[in-house]
Amino acid sequence: MVMFKVSRVETTPFDGQKPGTSGLRKKVKVFVQPHYLENFVQSTFNALGADKVTGATLVVSGDGRYYSKDAIQIIIKMAAANGVRRIWVGQNGLLSTPAVSAVIRERVGADGSKATGAFILTASHNPGGPTEDFGIKYNMENGGPAPEGITDKIYSNTTTIKEYLIAEGLPDVDISITGVTSFAGPEGQFDVDVFDSASDYVKLMKSIFDFQAIQKLISSPKFSFCYDALHGVGGAYAKPIFVDELGAQESSLLNCVPKEDFGGGHPDPNLTYAKELVARMGLGKTSTEEPPEFGAAADGDADRNMVLGKRFFVTPSDSVAIIAANAVQSIPYFSGGLKGVARSMPTSAALDVVAKNLNLKFFEVPTGWKFFGNLMDAGMCSVCGEESFGTGSDHIREKDGIWAVLAWLSILAYKNKDNLGGEKLVSVEDIVRQHWSTYGRHYYTRYDYENVDAASAKELMAYLVKLESSLSEVNDIIKGIRSDVSKVVHADEFEYKDPVDGSISKHQGIRYLFEDGSRLVFRLSGTGSEGATIRLYIEQYEQDPSKIGRESQDALAPLVEVALKLSKMQEFTGRSAPTVIT
Ligand code: G6P
Ligand code: ZN
């Protein structure tokens, strides 16, 4: 057995190592500075404390983006030096974020070991490559992101760090081959266990969904399917699940080879960045080929999803509402009923209406998946989702892109169970329109202003907060912009008291609530790595059956105009148009 020694390396703090909503995300050129990653990892070990580190089993893997392989070797050596007993690595360093959560919760090592935490190496939907982003976040024993108490401690440690520990004499481990490699350290044995990236996750999915029913749907000649992993880690799961288990054609998989730079693309599953899928599904340009019945895309670490029907876009806010409305009948895991449902504040109120009609517990939380985790740990929530293309359930403590696709396939399978030989399948669009006619429709759009000057973004937000204090002034301004928009009856900065741990989160976005149920929400993104991103969320509820079939942009045009003028968007940002509209 190769032996290693522990070496203590002197270091000095770096500015700005504060983990955001989903860990620390910076440009690769920042991460490759000597000691930069090491400082953050040591600060994490120190924040966790010896009882969660000494003798522990930890997972290290991610979406495979550029710098991951180097980072994994560094973390292995630092873990060994800090007294960790074993490190689990997905083959080639690949594990999707939901798979990491599943591995922490479900995987049992050959010697009976269980993991108690994970370093996830991802910057999610941000581009990758030498000039793009890298990221790292820590997840806890429940499989969810570290709570603020821990991330605050990590940050404070990064401001005072003086040294880190790293194993000397421990060679790089070949992470391309599965199997266990053991080393001898001063405190005893240290193992690195490289395992198949997909098998634990596939097993979990099979325990949740009726794979046979989905298989039947997929094998119907009337059904066709397309999954685009945007060259993210979702590709490592797409073939084992959709092709090997469910019998889809290999040609249904698009961009399913994980790449360090995501093929030069922006791995964010939305109408702007998932161009190839959008075209194949017949949205945008008119194509000559008949589009598939169902299409979906994932982001870099495969926790986000976009669901499309033939020439039809399902908004994420509608998606979670429709999954919640159909879960009990269509998905065996939920056959006993839903414990509750939850959405983030900027997500549309489509889920609220379902919760009310089905008499389900309902929660509105700030943006960020960790808030759902608390509810789930307390047994209060089964299904949740966010407008930012995140959907999931209490099977793990992260959002789950492939789970969402399987949920939709399950609903389609259920709706078509007696219809597979029929004239025409019940389509994604049919399901959504049916949902609108039962519950009403929430027209919804989001405008993103990316990489805006940070000071100007703050000024815009401050202006909106100030404006909120006088509703009569707000309504005068609105009247001057459009007379066909209803009036604001309440405005505030969203604040959340966690019903489980009582913690309070303030300044979670500025809301303007209108008399007719419309909403305008302004937020600063917490996930960018450069400048500031302003997000503007625009929503309007329509119950009149004769008005639910309009084009979303037409229906929302008056509110959009009000939002842009009321916030003086162009004045503050210098932008005449958003970077991305979803
Ligand atoms: C990550 C989190 C999500 C959150 C999103 C918000 O993806 O996991 O829970 O909704 O970030 O991003 P933003 O850029 O709007 O802060
Ligand atoms: Zn992601």
Atom of ligand 1 nearest to the CA of 304: 7
pLDDT < 50: residue spans in the chain: none
Atom of ligand 1 nearest to the CA of 386: 10
Distance 302 CA to ligand 2 centre (A): 6
Atom of ligand 1 nearest to the CA of 370: 9
347 lines ligand 1 (CB under 6 A): no
What is the fold of 441-581?
TATA-Binding Protein (3.30.310)
Distance 388 CA to ligand 1 centre (A): 6
Do residues 310 and 293 touch, judged by C-beta distance below 8 A? yes
Distance 118 CA to ligand 1 centre (A): 19
| Ligand showing the shortest atom-to-Cα distance for residue 268 | 2
Which amino acid would we find at residue 376?
M
CB atoms within 10 A of CB 254: 19
Distance 126 CA to ligand 2 centre (A): 8
Give the active site residues: 124
pLDDT one-digit tens code per residue, 124-150: 999 999 999 999 999 999 999 998 889
Which of 183, 155, 148 minimizes the C-alpha distance to 168? 183
- pLDDT, position 420: 83
- pLDDT, position 528: 66
Q: Which residue has the tokens 């509110």?
A: 559
Distance 151 CA to ligand 1 centre (A): 16
Do residues 179 and 22 touch, judged by C-beta distance below 8 A? no
- pLDDT, position 174: 98
- pLDDT, position 238: 98
Q: CATH for 2-197, among 3.30.590.10, 3.40.50.620, 3.30.2350.10, 3.40.120.10?
A: 3.40.120.10
- Residue 535's beta-bridge partner residues? 448, 523
CA distances from 474 to 21, 478, 491, 535 (A): 31, 6, 10, 20
Q: Name the segment(s) of the chain with CATH classification 3.30.310.50.
A: 441-581
- pLDDT, position 483: 86
255 lines ligand 1 (CB under 6 A): no
pLDDT one-digit tens code per residue, 310-360: 999 999 999 999 999 999 999 999 999 999 999 999 999 999 999 999 999
Question: Measured between alpha carbons, how far is 428 from 371 in angstroms, rounded to an integer?
Answer: 30
- pLDDT, position 249: 95
580 lines ligand 1 (CB under 6 A): no
Strand (E) or helix (H) holding 473: helix 471-481
As to burial, measured by CB atoms within 10 angstroms (0-12 exposed, 13-18 middle, 19+ buried), residue 160 is exposed
- pLDDT, position 22: 80
Question: Measured between alpha carbons, how far is 462 from 159 in angstroms, rounded to an integer?
Answer: 29
Question: Measured between alpha carbons, how far is 84 from 267 in angstroms, rounded to an integer?
Answer: 33
- pLDDT, position 536: 97
Q: Name the segment(s) of the chain with CATH classification 3.40.120.10.
A: 2-197, 201-439
Which amino acid would we find at residue 6?
V
CATH class of the domain comprising 201-439 = alpha beta
- pLDDT, position 285: 67
Do residues 236 and 94 touch, judged by C-beta distance below 8 A? yes
- pLDDT, position 39: 98
Do residues 330 and 414 touch, judged by C-beta distance below 8 A? yes
124 lines ligand 1 (CB under 6 A): yes
Joined tokens for residue 229: 């992993």
Which phi and psi (to 5°) does residue 230 adopt?
50, 35
Q: SS3 string of 367-384?
A: CCCHHHHHHHHCCCCCEE
- Residue 60's beta-bridge partner residues? 119
Question: Measured between alpha carbons, how far is 249 from 361 in angstroms, rounded to an integer?
Answer: 40
397 lines ligand 1 (CB under 6 A): no
387 lines ligand 1 (CB under 6 A): no
